[in-house]
Amino acid sequence: MENFYLDTNILFGYFVKKALEKRGKHIESKIADFLVVSSKNLKYAVSIVTKAEIVRKLRSEYGLDKNIIEEMWNGFVLEISPSYIKVFQSLEEVYKEIIDIVSEIPMKKRVTNLEHLIIAKKNNLIFVTGDKEIMEKCRVFYDKIIDYKKLRKLYKNEGER
């Protein structure tokens, strides 16, 4: 089965919804619900970059302590069971590819999602992203890029097999 490397945006909803639920506040999150249910059939993957972005946001936006964030991450790993992709490539290698992309295509946003893209590419994973710019412009560099809707459809097909 293919392995789906998730961009960080798709995970924020999961962390917020789950935390607020523990506070007794239920908010709708189709993303979080989907991640939980689909993780039983689909193989997801994250990396150190994903974790760094989640930790930054939870710390800077909500002032959560390091230990709390670490336990939340453990809870996420336990529930969703993503593979943890170790990035063996050097920064030089990763950024050389990023430079190849940004020197050919004008990219407006910062390079974090391109870091994810290169990690996905180096590990032959399907990159799941909500970043339209990546979707529209970067397929020439790596064609295994899908949006959230496509992921849902693949899951549906998987279930119908």
Partner 1 sequence: MKEKKELSEEERKRIDEAWRIAGEKIWKRLQYWKKHNPKKYREFWREYWKLEKAFSEDLDKEKKKAK
- Interface contacts to partner 1, rule CB under 8 A: 9-10, 12-13, 15-16, 18-23, 25, 28-31, 34, 39-41, 43, 58, 61-64, 67-72, 74-75, 78, 81, 130, 147-149, 152
Rounded CA separation 138/22 (Å): 39
Rounded to the nearest whole angstrom, what is the least distance from the CB of residue 30 to partner 1 in the complex? Answer: 5
Tokens standing for residue 47: 């990396």
Q: Is 120:128 a contact under the CB 8 Å cutoff?
A: no
Rounded to the nearest whole angstrom, what is the least distance from the CB of residue 36 to partner 1 in the complex? Answer: 12
- Nearer Cβ to partner 1, position 38 or 47? 38
- Nearer Cβ to partner 1, position 81 or 124? 81
Rounded CA separation 19/103 (Å): 41
Sort strands 43-47 and 83-85 into parallel, antiparallel or unpaired. Answer: parallel
- Nearer Cβ to partner 1, position 80 or 94? 80
Rounded CA separation 47/45 (Å): 7
- Nearer Cβ to partner 1, position 130 or 137? 130
Rounded to the nearest whole angstrom, what is the least distance from the CB of residue 6 to partner 1 in the complex? Answer: 12
- Nearer Cβ to partner 1, position 18 or 144? 18
Rounded to the nearest whole angstrom, what is the least distance from the CB of residue 141 to partner 1 in the complex? Answer: 22
CA–CA distances in Å: residue 100 to residues 49, 91, 105, 137, 148: 20, 14, 9, 13, 26
Rounded to the nearest whole angstrom, what is the least distance from the CB of residue 91 to partner 1 in the complex? Answer: 29
Rounded CA separation 159/152 (Å): 11
